[in-house]
Amino acid sequence: DIIFFWVARMTMMAGHFTGKMPFRDVYIHGLVRDENGKKMSKSAGNGIDPLLLINKYGADALRYTLIKEVAGAGQDISLQYDRNTDESESVQASRNFANKLWNAARFVLLNLDGKSSQQLGKPDLAKLELCDRWILSRFYQTVQETRKNIDEYGLGEAAKGLYEFIWGDFCDWYIELVKPRLREGENRLVAQQTLAYVLDGILKLLHPFMPHITEEIWHNLSQQTDVSLAVQAYPQVDEILVTASTPTIPQTEATPTTIAEAKTTTYDNPVLQFLADLPTEVTTLLRENRTPLLWLGGGLLALAGLKILTSFIGTLNSLPFFPALFKIVGLAYVTWFVLRYLLRSQTRSEVLGQLKTLAQQFQSSVNQNLSVSPSPSPSTPVTFIDPQLKIAF
């Protein structure tokens, strides 16, 4: 429909009235299908309201999801969507990506000492460390791949490439590697310059895919409120830093343990060295002595609970009315027991009958243990020795 009603007619009308072609290239993308893979239409009533997803996840997340899902020219997009909850796993993943970028940018801005990316300037190649050269090389490789994909209308491939570089290389690796260096003097300045320079380039690369969040972060980074990121030049490739000899860090091995090991740095100052090694040493100690520490922690919690209970009971005993209250309760129980079981003839006879049964059972048990003849018949009187009752039954 688009080709017939728009492309063909516009070409013919422009050729007739102006004698020129209105455009040289036409980008044709596939349909955005519903969660069941069916074409969305008003008659079928299976359309997905984009405003619901925008209100829940943001316009940037929805925009990036649709671009990232474009696998090739003309291939349809199947959008994950739950109509009961108005939720989408794919859009949620894009929102998580935006949150990751926002948190990384906050970390960078907090460590720039209030300076803008222009004030810090481009990193000095002579002072770069190995990880700085690696991230700059990966950045320019990403610039090269992104420009190539966009020129060839591979928007989905460009979006996925930016995702892998930003989340994997920049956030998970370089930021973790550079954290110890942000506490030093001249080395701190080089780290700040590299962080600001790469983040500035990331925002420019990602701006066509996520315009709103990148615009906001860029204004804070550049400290320019009267200039828009949309009119800035797209990053160019620096061939000097794009080198195949730059070492790579496998993303498949990017675990918290390997990141902690990669962050280890040797300092001339023993105090700084101790502070740098302290997190690793503490983590190793806790891992190796996990079971004893759990038992120790449980014992300390039990002692703390016993101490609290003892203090509570002591507090109750210190109250002036509490001992007297216990005496009143005890006296009331004794009075009730005497009235219930001793002062009434019927209940008294029941108590005596129960005592007689208990005496017979006790005598039978003793005779069995001593291999004595069976207990006397019920007619034989048995004396139950009780200094208070003095009753034979």
- On whether residue 306 sits in a domain, the answer given is no
User: CA-to-CA distance for 27 and 73, rounded, in angstroms?
Assistant: 8
Same domain, 246 and 346: no
User: CA-to-CA distance for 280 and 260, rounded, in angstroms?
Assistant: 7
- On whether residue 312 sits in a domain, the answer given is no
Same domain, 221 and 364: no
Same domain, 249 and 344: no
Averaged over 270-297, what is the pLDDT? 69
- On whether residue 326 sits in a domain, the answer given is no
CA distance readout (Å), 337 to 58, 175, 323, 347, 391: 75, 78, 21, 11, 20
% of the chain surpassing 90 pLDDT: 30
Chosen domain end from 254, 277, 311 = 254
Confidence (pLDDT) at 314: 74
- Top pLDDT among 257 and 302 is at 302
Tokens matching residue 145: 């791949």
Same domain, 193 and 341: no
Task: Look at strands 32-33 and 77-78 and give their pairing.
Answer: parallel
Averaged over 193-201, what is the pLDDT? 94
**Count of the separate structural domains present in the chain:** 2
Residue 200 has pLDDT above 90, yes or no: yes
| Domain boundaries, position 147 | 31-254
User: CA-to-CA distance for 16 and 35, rounded, in angstroms?
Assistant: 44
Q: Which of 209, 208, 214 is nearest to 65 (CA)?
A: 209
Same domain, 246 and 385: no
Confidence (pLDDT) at 391: 46
% of the chain surpassing 70 pLDDT: 75
Same domain, 126 and 231: yes
Chosen domain end from 219, 234, 254 = 254
Residue 167's Cβ-count burial label (10 Å; 0-12, 13-18, 19+) is middle
- On whether residue 298 sits in a domain, the answer given is no
Residue 196 has pLDDT above 90, yes or no: yes
Reported pTM = 0.61
Q: Which of 168, 326, 311, 329 is nearest to 251 (CA)?
A: 168
Confidence (pLDDT) at 379: 47
CATH number (domain holding residue 73): 1.10.730.10
Produce one character per residue of 322-332: b if its CB has 16 or more CB atoms within 10 Å, e if not: eeeeeeeeeee
Same domain, 369 and 248: no
Chosen domain end from 234, 254, 274 = 254
Same domain, 387 and 240: no
Residue 289 has pLDDT above 50, yes or no: yes
